[in-house]
Amino acid sequence: MTDTAIVSRGMFRSLKFFNARLYFLTLLLSNIGSWLQLAATSYLIYRLTGKATDIGYNVAFQFLPMLLIGTWAGSFADRYDRRTIMTVTQLLLAAQALTLGVLDLTNNVSLPVVWGLSLFLGVVGAMDNPARRGLITELVPGEQLSNAMSLNTTVMTGSKIFGSAFAALLIGPLGTGWLFILNGVSYAAMIYGIVGLRAAELVPAVKRPAGGTPVRDVFRYVRTNRRLSSMFFAYIVVCTFALNNNVVFPKLADIKWGSPDSFAWLLTVTGIGSVVGALATARLQVVPLRWLMLNVGVIGVSSIALGFTPNLAVAFVLCLPLGFGMAAMLAAGNAISQQESPPDMRGRLLALTAVAFLGSTPIGGPVTGAIADYVSLEWSMAYGGVSCFLCLAVLAWRWR
């Protein structure tokens, strides 16, 4: 068997293409900075107010634009050049991070300022997300697309390991402000990854024609496709209620486990599990819906157990399967959406996937934070696990 044949069947088979290697490497570097900022923002808000609810509101502001304009942004990415869109959005994202860093370092930061900049981040991110994910469809041939999508999830979750670990190590000596500055600088890597792509090796994008009803068309297509509609139902339920650990980890680490500085390390360990889950999905030639449902169950069990775990050591252990299930489910959803997608609808379906994944956060983030502050820290994690099993029950009934 030739080396090419081995690569074409391997877990990293899409990396035999130069454009994919360059893109994923620079995406990894840039997203390490993004996780630095995410951890630093949670630290900053918890330092300012001490409330998980305020962290929940912040993620609501950050991801509300995805809910409101995400599908339209996918239609935009299907119509225009994705590299141009990304170049502009990456510059704006860098400006947001640098502004937040300067305000923090000069002691001019406040909760409304953080919320306002998070809202700006959300608007730009809503435009960037479908273009960034849609560009992956131009890096590799169609038969490698499922693998490339899973490797994209691997990179996104792998950056969580390094970004969260660096945050844990650097936030003490540097403070949150310099972490925002580092994130702003990291966008230079992503811009290089966009402009450095070999145009001759790009797979031509199938552009949707002007006019028509592109947003209604994608909703109609999902509604009539049983696998896609089931996948999106699972995405909406699980992402709304069970993937808000970033909101409650700071308070769990401080109040329940007595180690406020361990928040970023919890994210790091979750990221390790996430990389394994994404790679486990990448090895599959075709991703079945059963794999997605299996990992919804893994998230459910892990969330309930983590909510009631007695100490930090056990929490670290339980973060591994939680991260595995999260990344495997997300990678499976991305792969299924592309397996079922017509070429001219890929950007819109990826955007709709992002809306289900990130757009649900404005609802789930504040709900989770409120449960942590006013009901029970334990149930702020466990209720998400219960929602996973309710989701599985509905899907099992539908596919009975």
Instruction: Decide if 5 is inside a domain.
Output: no
Over residues 247-274, mean pLDDT: 84
Structure tokens at 398: 């539908």
Name the nearest CA neighbour of 323 among 242, 230, 231, 228. Answer: 242
Instruction: Decide if 177 is inside a domain.
Output: yes
Name the nearest CA neighbour of 126 among 377, 357, 383. Answer: 357
pLDDT for 288 beyond 50: yes
Instruction: Decide if 274 is inside a domain.
Output: yes
Question: Over the range 173-197, which residues count as b (16 or more CB within 10 Å of their CB) and which as e?
Answer: ebbbbbbbbbbbebbbbbbbbbeeb
Judged by DSSP in three states, 96 sits in helix
Query: What is the rounded distance in angstroms from the CA atom of residue 294 to the CA atom of residue 290?
Result: 6
Total domains in the chain come to 1
Label residue 21 by pLDDT band (50, 70, 90).
Answer: very high
Q: Where are the beta strands (DSSP E) in the chain?
A: none
Residue 159 near residue 28, CB atoms below 8 Å:
yes
Q: Give the Cβ contact number of residue 379 at 10 Å.
A: 17
Structure tokens at 335: 């792969």
The torsion angles phi and psi of 110, rounded to 5 degrees, stand at -145, 170
Element (H, E) at 87: helix 82-105
Residue 328 near residue 278, CB atoms below 8 Å:
yes
Residue 307 near residue 379, CB atoms below 8 Å:
yes
Question: In the chain, what percentage of residues exceed pLDDT 90?
Answer: 32
CATH number, domain at 227?
1.20.1250.20
pLDDT at 212: 58
pLDDT at 79: 76
pLDDT at 90: 94
* Amino acid in position 40: A
Instruction: Decide if 53 is inside a domain.
Output: yes
Instruction: Decide if 287 is inside a domain.
Output: yes
Name the nearest CA neighbour of 218 among 75, 334, 380, 361. Answer: 75
Q: Which of 113-127, 198-212, 301-315 has the lowest mean pLDDT?
A: 198-212
Residue 65 near residue 176, CB atoms below 8 Å:
no
Q: Would you give the DSSP letter of residue 292?
A: H
pLDDT for 8 beyond 60: no
Instruction: Decide if 314 is inside a domain.
Output: yes
Instruction: Decide if 3 is inside a domain.
Output: no
Query: What is the rounded distance in angstroms from the CA atom of residue 75 to the CA atom of residue 207?
Result: 10
| Global pTM value | 0.71
According to the per-residue pLDDT averaged within each range, which of 52-56, 265-269, 299-303 is highest? 299-303
Instruction: Decide if 128 is inside a domain.
Output: yes
Structure tokens at 40: 């630093």
CA–centroid distance for 124 within its chain: 15
Name the nearest CA neighbour of 157 among 64, 269, 265. Answer: 269
Q: Is 68 left (phi over 0), alpha (psi -120 to 50) or beta?
A: alpha
Domain range for 295: 13-398
Per residue in 375-395, pLDDT (tens digit) is: 888 899 999 999 999 999 999
